[in-house]
Structure 1
Amino acid sequence: MLPRGLISDTVQAMGRSIVQGEWQPGAQLPMEADLAAKFGVGRNALREAVKVLAGKGLVRTARRYGSRVADRSDWNSLDVDVIRWRLHDRSSHARFRREVAQLRELIEPGAASMAASNATSAERAAISTLANSMKEAPSPEAIETDIAFHLAILDATHNSLIQGLRRPLEEMLRTLFHADLTLLENGLSYDPNPTLHLALANAIAGGRAEEARYIAMAFVIRGAEGADRLEASNLQQL
């Protein structure tokens, strides 16, 4: 049996290479022996890695033409690995950050409104506890509390489809927040903003659905503004 860590490492290396454009959509991947040598693995491990990437929509395989990079529209954009690879790709980070902000605009205000209407007493209390534990100073610990706060709101919707977005949203937020923690020069420093979190928690605790929707939109606007600043910075560097 092949070591799972070896296959996972190969998936990560190949996935990053595809997302970063080493092989363009529609391009045929190199011969199996060449790929195995490139990533320092045997052919069996490589084949297993290609199967995993095919499951994520990045690769298409067929006997008649081998393996090709799939069109971007076929990629499983909500797969946590694909999210991580795209957000770590410097060439497309700003554009993907904007896409994340647009997705959050579609999901989070509605989720906050639903949570205000549907949350149990225990869920409202848990959301309030997380908001009250937010600190002013940015830190890895503040990031984890922030993420837990947003995920608790998704859970409190009691909508299984919205709850199904939990893992993708968690990966998006964690990657973006940690990136912001290191992007001080572009005005993107991660800001916990406990005041805004507490306002949203209070609206949910009080069952004020429209107020919760409005406050949640403020989080989304802040994310979109960050994408604007990063895009402007990238343009100035061209």
Structure 2
Amino acid sequence: MSYSKISRRFFAYLFDTIIVSGFVCTLLLILKFLNIFDTKTLVENISKGDFSFFINYYILCFLIYLVYEVVFLTSNISSTPGKIILDMEIVSYKPSFLKGFIRSTVKVIESLSGLVIISGLVAVFTENKQSIHDLLAKTFVVDFDRRSQHIPSSMDSAEFHEEMKRRGIKTYSEQKALAQEMFGNRKKSSISFILSSPLLWAIVLVLSIIIIIIYSNVIIYQIRNFYTIVNL
């Protein structure tokens, strides 16, 4: 079992953040198109010292990011799109929805509070490269080799049996849970197989970047237009 390097996890986190931001920007653009959300009014309110939008935006990002993490982590994919792009997945001894929810909640709080830096430093110094959210949920981030989605090699088997002895595992359910932790999810449904495609999420990542740029240009245009009118 190969634990993912911190540098690769950082880029996976960056990709996830971009994808979530792209989704949020898409939602705001749709609301603007439907005249439910007005960027012009937003700029005017900010100029008057009304920053309530940022509070609502913060809450929206928290909820979307949380749902994003929970849905992907508790599915058969066991990975977020950012990690899928870089061929990584999250494994756990005796995985459960509760563990996925705990990990996701703590990670999102870290991300939106700036504690993600501290969590990353913790992963640097832990034996299995576990961040704070990994330690609390008892999860691990491992590299996923798509060329070896079959029965583990003899070397993997030796490592597996050695780990069984170390933990004192005897029952089949415990062995199955350990295999999932060490080797990840080898069997996926057709839908899961499609959703676990790195190419798919790489395309989504590019589209997210484009949408973020479009939304940023809309805001910049409104700001310039506002100050042009004010200076007349």
Normalised to the residue count of structure 2, the TM-score between the two structures is 0.30
Choose 1 or 2 for highest CA Rg: 2
Normalised to the residue count of structure 1, the TM-score between the two structures is 0.29
The structure whose RCO (Cα within 8 Å, separation 6+) is larger is: 2
